[in-house]
Structure formats: structure tokens, C-alpha cells
Amino acid sequence: MKIFIDILEIAQLVFYLYIAISVLVLLVFSFASLFPYRPKLTNDGVLRKIAIIIPAYREDNVIEEVVKSASQQSYPKERYDIVVVADHFLPETLERLSKHDITLLAKDFEISTKSRALNYAFEKMDQSYDIAVILDADNIMEKDFLSTINHSFAAGYKVVQGHRTAKNLNTNFALLDSISEEINNSIFRKGFRNLNFSSALIGSAMAFDFAMFKKMMKEVEVVGGFDKEIEMRLSKRRIKVEYLPNTYVYDEKVQNAEVFTRQRRRWLSAQIHFFGRNFFPSLKSLFTEGNIEYFVRAMIYIQLPRVLLLAVLFLMVPLSLLVNNFEWTMAWTAALISIIFVFAFAIPRKFYNFSFFKAVITLPKGIFMMMISLFSVRKGNKKFIHTKHTYNAFQIKKHKHQ
């Protein structure tokens, strides 16, 4: 009996260390996000040639709106082109798109992935571009987005992540999804940059040195999480990713539980996949090359999603009170308080309103759906999972700089 109790104690200690370290890392970066981050922007008088590449799969409902918006940038029109990779589009949509001043690349891939669409675009494009901007098919750029990207490249950066934020808050799940993305912006972009780490990438609203990115993409073939693959490669090469907190791209947020679950399953699958691929190489790089950034990136992927961390800690505090001693109860309580501070630091003040508290009521359902998604997480990185976008009628209010 004593041996069994000792085993349980050791198991609890290991589990607690895993949870506590995860929470501590989040707490450090979320606290760092409380301080302003001012990216270096330089006007060197050079108007770099920019290709806006939009890989789109069955996005007939929203693509024209995005194309029209992209053509209204304040950046000189002769210095940027819009390239749409139209995968499995309806003939009538292709006909309408052909009337716009864009490069239209229609291709029905047998296996559709963002990496294949991007590589196809690079095959068809010439070498005259300096910057590649990657958008999703539902993304709306603020009018000065390209100009600010150009100034960031003038400051010497080769990879820049814009501030992607919600364009719709029309359902509770859309609001929760929006808050989740802003927490990521706070912790993994703003917080990381304030502590001199690279910004995390997000899959769109990104800009790359054209030649470097084209060469890198030739080696990338992943079903999901292509942004994480790029992150790992950049970390290995010590290429710093800049973040522009006040340069916005508006993105549609998921509007119901079903889509929320599919999306989280895809993300969890990619997270586990990239941790498995990069843990030992990053550990080796840490000790042989002193590459802290690569190691930290790999370790971030082993963390539980934040809402699951919160759920676990809410469960462990009363459980430890029932079966453990006072010290263990205090230890789990300290971790719970810390994760609450993580959320408090990272959630932008603008979300603290009645709609936020109304959406919190649906959080248990979101947590339950995420736990269900864990059982099918292995499938998420083997098959392309498409998040269909349908939200057309929206009004974008200009965000206040924070």
C-alpha cells in the first residue's frame, strides 16, 4: 500500500511540475505584454515591390470582397500585385475574379494544402518582387498595411507578422475565438518581442523576404500548421520575426461549436506533431549552439491549451483538498491563481464588457469540445481540414492602439 501511495505522490509531482512550468512560462510572457512594444520602422525612400498572395480553397463567398479591399491600399498600385490561388472554385466565381486587376491562378489540387498553393504561386510568378505578403481568403487589410510592412523591411527585418484581429463578434463562439487570438497576440507576439524573442507566426497577415521565402517553401510540405514549420526553420537560422501591434488585418472568427472543435483539433494535432519533430534537435541546438529561441519554440508546443490548463487547475484544487495535505492544496491553488493572472494580463481591456461575461458562460462547452477533440487529435495532421468562411456583411471599426 505504501508503495502505491509513493507512486501516486511521484506521479502528482511530475504532473504538477509540468503544469506549473507551463503556467510560469505563460505568466512571464503575459506580464511582459503589459508593457508597450514599439517596432522599429524606417522610411528609406524605397518602395519595395510586393506580392500579396492569397491561397484560397472553396472560398467563393468571400474572395471578391477580399480582392476589392486589397486593391485599395494606400501603397502605390504599381508597386504591388494581388495573386489569388483559386483551389476548387466555381466556374462563375473564376469568371468574376478574372475581371479584377489580379493574377488569377486556378488549380484544383488533388490534396489541398496552403503550402502546395503557395509553392504553385511561386512557380508561376517571376522574380521581380521584394516582399511576399500572405493573406487568408477572408482577410481584410487596413489601408496602410503595405506601407508599414515596407517601413519594417527598411529597418532590416526579413519576416514581419501583422496584428491579426477579429472582423466579426456576432456569436459567443466568435467572441471567444477573438479573445483567444488576442491572448496569443499578447503572449506569443507582443510579450515575446518585449523579451527580445521572435514573434510567433499566425498563418496569415505575414510578410517575408520574397527570395528567402520562395526558397524555404520548396522544402515545406505539411498538411496542417505550415506557419509552425516556418517558425521552426526561422528559429534554427536565428532569423528574427518582427511584430507590428498597431498594423491590423481583420479575420473572420469561428461562429459555432462544430467549427471551433474542428479548428482546435487541427491546431492541437499540429502542435503535437511539431513538438515531436523538434524537441531533440532543439535540445541539441541549445547545448551545441546556444540557440535558446529554437528550444523555447519547441517547448511551447508541449503545453496544454490555456483553457484546458484552467480546467485542470480548477479540478485539482478541490481534489487535492480532499485527498492531499495542506501543502499540495496551496501548491495547486498558487498555480490556479497564476493562470488567472495570465488571462488578466493578456486579455485586452476592450473585451471587459457584458458581451464578454455572456460569452464566458459558453466557455465550459468550449472546454468540453476541446477535450473531445483530444481523442481524434492524431487525425488532424493527416487530412486537410477546411474552415469555411461566410461572413460578408460586417462593419470594421478601427481599433484603438493599445
Q: What is the pLDDT of residues 149-170, one digit of tens each?
A: 999 999 999 999 999 998 877 7
With residue 235 as reference, give the H or E element that holds it.
Answer: helix 226-236
Mean residue pLDDT of the chain comes to 86
User: Which of 40 and 110 is assigned the larger pLDDT?
Assistant: 40
The confidence score (pLDDT) of residue 399 equals 45
Most confident of the following: 107-116, 170-179, 301-310: 107-116
Whole-number Å distance between alpha carbons of 251 and 240: 24
Kindly state the cell numbers that stand for 131. 516582399
Q: Is the pLDDT of residue 283 over 50?
A: yes
The confidence score (pLDDT) of residue 402 equals 43
48 pLDDT band, cuts 50/70/90, is: very high
> In degrees to the nearest 10, what's the CA dihedral of 171, 261, 166, 188?
140
- Provide mean pLDDT across the span 125-134: 92
Instruction: Please state, as a whole number, how many other Cβ atoms lie within 10 Å of the Cβ of residue 274.
Output: 23
List Cβ neighbours of 355 (8 Å cut-off, separation of 6 or more): 169, 175
Most confident of the following: 144-158, 207-221, 289-303: 144-158
First and final C-alpha spacing in the chain = 57
The confidence score (pLDDT) of residue 146 equals 98
Instruction: Please state, as a whole number, how many other Cβ atoms lie within 10 Å of the Cβ of residue 314.
Output: 15
The confidence score (pLDDT) of residue 394 equals 44
The confidence score (pLDDT) of residue 393 equals 43
With residue 161 as reference, give the H or E element that holds it.
Answer: strand 159-166
1 pLDDT band, cuts 50/70/90, is: low
- Which ranges constitute the DSSP H helices of 54-190? 63-70, 91-97, 114-124, 145-154, 172-184
pLDDT, tens digit (0-9, with 9 covering 90-100), for 226-258: 888 899 999 999 999 999 999 999 998 765 556
Whole-number Å distance between alpha carbons of 123 and 109: 15
382 pLDDT band, cuts 50/70/90, is: low
Give Cα 208 to chain centroid, integer Å. 16
**Amino acid at the residue 382:** K
Instruction: Write the CA distances from 110 to 115, 116, 118, 150, 384, integer angstroms.
Output: 13, 10, 15, 36, 11
Q: Is the dihedral angle over the CA atoms 127, 132, 135, 136 positive or is it negative?
A: positive
Question: What domains can you pick out in the chain, each with its CATH number?
Answer: 50-267 (3.90.550.10)
400 pLDDT band, cuts 50/70/90, is: very low
DSSP state of 188: I
- Residue 364, judged by CB atoms within 10 A of its CB (0-12, 13-18, 19+), counts as exposed
- Provide mean pLDDT across the span 294-316: 87
Most confident of the following: 132-136, 257-261, 326-330, 347-351: 132-136
Give 69-75's long-range contacts (Cβ < 8 A, gap of 24+). Answer: 69/140, 69/141, 70/135, 70/141, 71/100, 71/101, 71/102, 72/143, 73/141, 73/143, 73/144, 73/145, 73/146, 73/147, 74/143, 74/144, 74/146, 74/147, 75/47, 75/50, 75/146, 75/147, 75/150
- Provide mean pLDDT across the span 90-105: 95
56 pLDDT band, cuts 50/70/90, is: very high
Instruction: Please state, as a whole number, how many other Cβ atoms lie within 10 Å of the Cβ of residue 153.
Output: 24
Whole-number Å distance between alpha carbons of 317 and 335: 9
Give rounded-to-5 percent helix, strand, coil for the chain.
55, 10, 35
The SS3 assignment for 57 reads strand
User: Which of 356 and 242 is assigned the larger pLDDT?
Assistant: 242
Closest CA to 51 of 138, 121, 156: 121
- Provide mean pLDDT across the span 320-342: 90
- For residue 163, the cross-strand partners are 248
Please state the pTM of the whole predicted model.
0.86
Whole-number Å distance between alpha carbons of 112 and 118: 11
Whole-number Å distance between alpha carbons of 305 and 272: 11
User: Which of 47 and 321 is assigned the larger pLDDT?
Assistant: 47
Q: Is the pLDDT of residue 143 over 60?
A: yes
